[in-house]
Amino acid sequence: MVEISFLHFTDLHWGQHGLGHFWPTYKTKLKEDLKKMREKVGRNWDFVLFTGDLAFSGQSNEYETLTEVLQEVWEWFKEDGSEPFFIPVPGNHDLRRLDDANPVAISLSYWEDKPNLREEFWSNPNSEYRKTLREAFHGYTEWLGSKPVPMPDNFQSGILPGDFSLSISLNDFKLGIIGLNSAFLQLTQEDFREKIVLSAKQIIPIMDSSPDDWCKKHHFNIFMTHHNPSWLSESSLREFRAEIYPPDRFNLHIFGHLHEAMGIELSEGGSTSRKFRQGPSLLGLEKYGTRDEIRTHGYIANKIEIQGPSGTERYWPRILVKKAGGYHGFDPDTKFERDSDDSVSSVFKLTQDEEADLIENAIENNQNEFQNIASEDEGIHSIEENDDSLEQDLTAKDEEKSTTLPRFIWKLHSHHQAIRQAEQASLEKTLLEKRCGIIVSDWGLGKIGFIGTVLARLEKSDPVEVFKVSCSETETLEQMDTIFRQQLGFSFQETMNLLSNLPRPVLFMDDFSPNLLEEIRGKEQPGETFLQPLLDFCPTLLIIIAMRQAPKNPLYDVIHLRALEIPDTKLYAQKHDITVEELKDPNIIEALHMKSDGLPMHLDMIIEQLQVSSLNEILTLDDGVSSLDKESEPVPIALQKAVRSLAESNDKYKKRSAKLLQVLSFLPAGESLSALKRVFPTQPFYPQNAVDLFKFDLVQAENPMEFTKTEDHASDLFRSGITGEEKRLVVPRQVRDYVKSITPEADLIDITRATLFLMFGDNWLSGNALLQPKRKRTLRGVRGLGPGNEHAVAVSYLRQSIKENEPAKIRKSIKLAISLASAYADASKYRDCAIVADEYLSITTGLLTEEENKHLSILLARGLRMTGKRNKALALLDSVIENNDESITKDERAEIELLRALILEKNRDKDGALEAANRVLNLASKGSGRHDHALSVIIDIETCGKERIENLARHEKAARGRGNLVVANNIALDIYSELTDEDAKSAALESVIKCKKDPYNKIRALVNKANLANKNGSSISLSIAEKAMLRQAYSFLFTQRLGNLFDECHKVLWKLFKIEDNLNYLLLMFRLSSFVWRLQGNIETEKTYAIQIRETAEKGLIPKAQRKVVMAFEYFKKRLGFFISDVN
């Protein structure tokens, strides 16, 4: 056995202010632990790898004193018989930072955007960029050249300061080390997360122009940088994965910078794992960064053992911990899953050419053995070879047997027939052409109803007979034979023989494993799965396979079933076998979709319950869990096994992946991994945890929307995700339901508390829903319309408090709920406000105080008024007055009367509106917002013409001067409607458009200005910024469903896009607006706009190959096809 051992140090930050008094005590503990680890490893240290930030600011005096420190440490090594080589790379603290105004620094900040700059940088060593870089790292390179401690003599330097390659022979073991400067762009104090660059241009000259050949000359290859790959820019990360560290090149990538130990091994698509080792900070202040993050002090000891054609990497992460006596000492890092000797181990294969021969021989032997086994197993292929003889042997007895095969009877259901028209056509086509189709569908998506509908049309029969086999426990063909015997009463081969006697048999294999589909390929036709012989043997057989995960290389068409969007939810509900009158209301359909997330399983359950319960009662039930015992579609074994494999694993990191799944299951809108990383501070989540969930299709990744930087945080549904922004991890509804149903009560409480901190910070402890700054940027996707994670967490806390029956907790949770509803209203998210206030009132029946009930009812009325449900809002306000007449305060009564006045004015009840407005004048303080608003209502009703304009103008000026901006903006919009001169109308809108704190009226003003600009011959035009705001306005109105204003915004924005021939935006807009039209039954409107898109497309325009645009284009084609077939 050949062995080498080394230490991984990083992030010393020598010279940082305040470190001086730490070092004397720390070095004693470090010396003791290094001696202890030397004994544990069992051999001397061969070298010390230092991954950057040796100094604090790259100054020469820091390196001078650092030399003394290192020499002292090397004296310790000598005492134990070691004299290791020192092998470092620079970090971002090993350079002298440039001023932010430095012209070179400014130029390099545009690295990603300027190809010419990058070309000049790499090709010209005498450019100002490279000169500046050499000067910045001068202190480091000069110090390194002095060889402060023993270093190898054969460093091969690269293009940038600190780049090197090194070949070392130790005990007949050849080691290759590559070090790259990852900090060369981090020349200023700016945050460089996801801006760091590594280039293949750095490795080519130091690896003899052939990186793979260079690595093959060594038994083991180590790659060193200062930064974690997660800090690379998007383009650089792609280059890193493809050109610098593809699988099989390096055995190890070590780095520092993030001040805590981490070990990740990541295999993608079956490739060799990339191995990443992040070292903890060797020394530094206890807290760092802008959030006072705790810095972990320590190092990693390493040992590589070689025996035969493979080896083992062992590493011991060591961290400084506080002991019970108040002092510190080094211990194993308990975050890692360790062996009995406290090490973490990983096996690798050698890459040197002479050892490769051994590996090839082993592979050859294995192949010979496999061929011997394969030759003995003719299996399924004997069906093809003996087809004729089997047919000749078929007797009357066989025909009688075939009648005993158990069958499932599937009926045609009109509600399934009405939806998924394109998917139905795809399955029908593949069954007609190939007689086999694959359906990828998760639990609860109504696959049986879908398949039954297609088969009924295909077979021209209702009901249809299907032979169904559940393959949930099957991974091999041998197991397949067993389940056929268990479920159908005959072996696999016998069943095929019997099916071949039937005129048009249908075999449905459910919960099929993708592994099984790939297990056996035809011997004569390598591209053929075991399915083809079945189809050949039974020439009339139809095979339908259903699986949770799509196969890698499908030879038959794959049809994906997904949750229904709102228009299909409407069709499904209104065409359902169970007729419920309430389902004709579009508002009910939206509530139904939000409650069910578009899962047919949940829709069926809700519609069944509507026969005996009110919709309000059903909507207040806790989501999903009550349907898990539904016999029509049990939880798939594959889903149960996937979740169990993580939750019941002995690997604590797999368990942590299960914990991440639990947390995400309580966040219906999903969340980014970075936001969730420290939701449990002692159990942080890492990318590998998310990867574990992806492997089992337990989570999906969605791009975040781009948001404005204005105070209203409106979103733009036309834009893709922000470049470099982390994706949102979303757990599908059916998986959430299952995970929540098996989560222990104690875990539910812990998760709720943790997510409350995530959403609201410390504010929730006092019952305040003050959103965290990042939370203000949250938005659901088009399908996920609803109040989002904040509401999900708040309602979970509310239900928990009620269940525990703790009065103080109930009061706090109700206060939080009311506060959140109020926050939505203040942000002009009136639809969200109405949804959550209505749900909170339903959940807390009998628990609210008079004051709480009153507050929530007023908030609900505000939301209802703004979403077009004025009469319902008026009735609610009247009931608040009737039920709380004695307890209503003066301010509350003023708010109620103002809402009544605004509703009555809109309803053309002028007398009632005047009466209510005058009551407000008597109740509200003069000069208050309510007083000014009521006065504007009175002016609006009692005056007209020129007098009205003059009075409104005076009142607007006064209200704006008093800071009552919403009132002033409302008045400005009233003035706009009275004016006839185009320029005057435009001028009336300007102050509203510029207002930052009234998003609703700003949208009204933008729409009005766009109407002016769209008129023929108009001198009014929209600026680029206003066009962008109009897109954002459309997106906001879409999510909040603000009725007529949405329709108006659609018209003006559509006209703008038409004028610009902007096919991409027209397609995106059509898909969104189509939802609303179909929900309202406005099919003619939808048809008109679809034809307009076709006219634009006929000009030769081609839509972008961008995911959202492609999706919108497919949707448009589907709808246009519907209209064309409808005409025919």
pLDDT in tens, 1078-1098: 777 788 888 888 888 888 877
Confidence of residue 546 (pLDDT cuts 50, 70, 90): very high
Average pLDDT over residues 95-121: 86
Which residue bears the tokens 């319309």? 785
What is the DSSP secondary structure assignment for residue 615, as one 8-state letter? H
Task: Name the more confident of 887 and 797.
Answer: 797
The predicted structure's pLDDT at residue 157: 94
> In the predicted model, is pLDDT for residue 385 greater than 60?
no
* Cβ(281)–Cβ(266) below 8 Å: no
The predicted structure's pLDDT at residue 526: 43
Determine which of 475-489, 661-675, 994-1008 has the lowest per-residue pLDDT on average.
475-489
Confidence of residue 1105 (pLDDT cuts 50, 70, 90): low
Determine which of 335-344, 562-571, 1011-1020 has the lowest per-residue pLDDT on average.
335-344
Amino acid at 1078: R
| Mean pLDDT of the chain, nearest integer | 82
Determine which of 388-397, 804-813, 1089-1098 has the lowest per-residue pLDDT on average.
388-397
Percent of the chain scoring above 70 in pLDDT: 85
CA max distance for the chain: 102
Q: Which two tokens stand for residue 137?
A: 């790292």
The predicted structure's pLDDT at residue 339: 75
Task: Name the more confident of 987 and 634.
Answer: 987
Domains contained in the chain, CATH given = 2-95+137-357 (3.60.21.10), 381-560 (3.40.50), 566-627 (no CATH)
Can you tell me the distance from the alpha carbon of 160 to that of 197, in angstroms, rounded to the nearest whole number? Answer: 12
The predicted structure's pLDDT at residue 198: 96
Q: How many other CB atoms are found less than 10 A from the CB of residue 307?
A: 10
The predicted structure's pLDDT at residue 1082: 80
Determine which of 518-522, 656-660, 1112-1116 has the lowest per-residue pLDDT on average.
518-522
Can you tell me the distance from the alpha carbon of 973 to that of 924, in angstroms, rounded to the nearest whole number? Answer: 23
Full-model pTM: 0.55
What is the DSSP secondary structure assignment for residue 636, as one 8-state letter? P
Confidence of residue 477 (pLDDT cuts 50, 70, 90): low
> In the predicted model, is pLDDT for residue 782 greater than 70?
no
* Cβ(775)–Cβ(788) below 8 Å: no
Reported as a single tens digit per residue, the pLDDT across 193-216 is 889 999 999 999 999 999 999 999
Using DSSP, state whether 371 is helix, strand or coil: helix
> In the predicted model, is pLDDT for residue 82 greater than 80?
yes
Average pLDDT over residues 611-627: 62
No. of helices (H) and no. of strands (E), the chain: 47, 27
Determine which of 161-170, 294-303, 685-694 has the lowest per-residue pLDDT on average.
294-303
Strands (DSSP E) contained in 290-399 are: 293-294, 298-307, 310-322, 328-332, 344-349
* Cβ(414)–Cβ(575) below 8 Å: yes
Between β-strands 252-255 and 173-179, what pairing exists: parallel, antiparallel or unpaired? Answer: unpaired
List, in order, residues 6 or more apart from 715 with CB less than 8 Å away: 705, 706, 707, 708, 779, 1032, 1035, 1036, 1039
Confidence of residue 726 (pLDDT cuts 50, 70, 90): low
Which residue bears the tokens 């075939």? 402
The predicted structure's pLDDT at residue 73: 95
Average pLDDT over residues 753-776: 75
Return phi, psi of residue 223, to 5°: -110, 130
The predicted structure's pLDDT at residue 810: 92
* Long-range own/partner contacts, residues 757-761 (CB < 8 A, 24 or more apart): 757/679, 758/671, 758/675, 758/676, 758/679, 758/793, 759/789, 759/790, 759/793, 759/794, 760/790, 760/816
Reported as a single tens digit per residue, the pLDDT across 508-544 is 998 887 777 665 444 344 444 567 778 888 889 999 9
Can you tell me the distance from the alpha carbon of 965 to that of 999, in angstroms, rounded to the nearest whole number? Answer: 11
> In the predicted model, is pLDDT for residue 1125 greater than 70?
no
Confidence of residue 105 (pLDDT cuts 50, 70, 90): confident
Q: What CA–CA distances, in Å, run from 186 to 90, 133, 231, 237, 283?
A: 12, 10, 11, 16, 21
> In the predicted model, is pLDDT for residue 59 greater than 80?
yes
Determine which of 72-86, 345-359, 442-456, 870-884 has the lowest per-residue pLDDT on average.
345-359
Average pLDDT over residues 343-361: 58
* Cβ(887)–Cβ(893) below 8 Å: no
Reported as a single tens digit per residue, the pLDDT across 258-282 is 767 888 877 676 677 889 999 999 8
User: Please, which residues bridge with residue 254 across strands?
Assistant: 224, 277
Between β-strands 464-470 and 506-510, what pairing exists: parallel, antiparallel or unpaired? Answer: parallel
Average pLDDT over residues 57-76: 93
Average pLDDT over residues 696-722: 54
